Amino acid sequence: MSREIRWPILAATLAMASALWFLTFYFSWGNFWLKISLAAGFLGATAILLGRGRLNWEFRPSDILIGIAGAAVLYLIFWIGNALSGWLFGFAPEQVNGIYSRGEGTDRWVICLLLLLVTSPGEEIYWRGFLQENLGRNLGKPAGYLVATACYALVHLPAWNFMLIGAAAVAGLFWGLLYWKIGRIVPLIICHAVWSVTIFALLPIG
């Protein structure tokens, strides 16, 4: 087992992730889907370069089923959460619509391709395969899981959207737990990709 990445490198990548998410969510200029794809792709490539073989790329046929089933469960969680939040918080529907409005003007097939090939793989490679993995090696798996999830939620603060931050926290907890239990990145990429395409392009809940 290779050694963990040192703290200064982890902190530097997290600062970079925060800056990229700030540029993506705070500023309205540019195409949102292109911006988030470039940010996630850059983070994923950085994680691969720094990881030097630490990422577990093992693929098993069951990973396809795990990924699809996980995406279905997470979609159901979000569907229930959307219904409850609309009942509990008057501002929720408007903020959910604000999330979807960021992608207006982009063809659905373009969104699907970016989510499948760039954004979902890039996010999972960095946030779970790199950050959570190395935080777990430094702090222990439970603490690594919680800290990585908190970071994933907090980088969405520049959007000033409570529902988006909450959604990131829920998704981060789900994917982080899945990675903790499985320890391989491929089923996480499949789960993230299927869920993202479904909730943002095929069956939006907003």
Per residue in 82-101, pLDDT (tens digit) is 999 888 888 888 988 888 88
Say if residues 69 and 132 touch (Cβ distance below 8 Å): no
* Contacts (Cβ under 8 Å, ≥6 apart) of 132: 144, 145, 148, 149, 176, 179, 180
Decide if pLDDT at 104 tops 70: yes
Structure token digits, residue 203: 């069956």
**Average pLDDT of the residues in 66-79:** 97
Q: From CA 8, how far away is CA 12, in angstroms rounded? A: 6
pTM (2 d.p.): 0.94
At residue 3, the pLDDT reads 58
| Residue 110 included in any domain | yes
Helix (H, G, I), strand (E, B) or coil at 14: helix
Residue 138 in domain? yes
pLDDT category of residue 162 using cuts at 50, 70 and 90: very high
Number of CB atoms found within 10 A of residue 27's CB: 10
Does the residue 2 lie in any domain?
Answer: no
The pLDDT tens digits of the residues spanning 111-138 come to 999 999 999 999 999 999 999 999 999 9
Q: Tell whether 1 is covered by a domain.
A: no
The answer as to whether 136 is a domain residue is yes
- Per-residue pLDDT, 103: 79
In order of 75, 76, 169, the CA distances from 80 in angstroms are 9, 6, 15
pLDDT averaged over the chain?
A: 93
Output Rg (C-alpha) for the chain, integer angstroms: 16
Directed axis angle between helix 92-101 and helix 62-88, to 10°? 130
Domain count along the chain: 1
Which structural domain, as residue segments, surrounds residue 93?
7-202
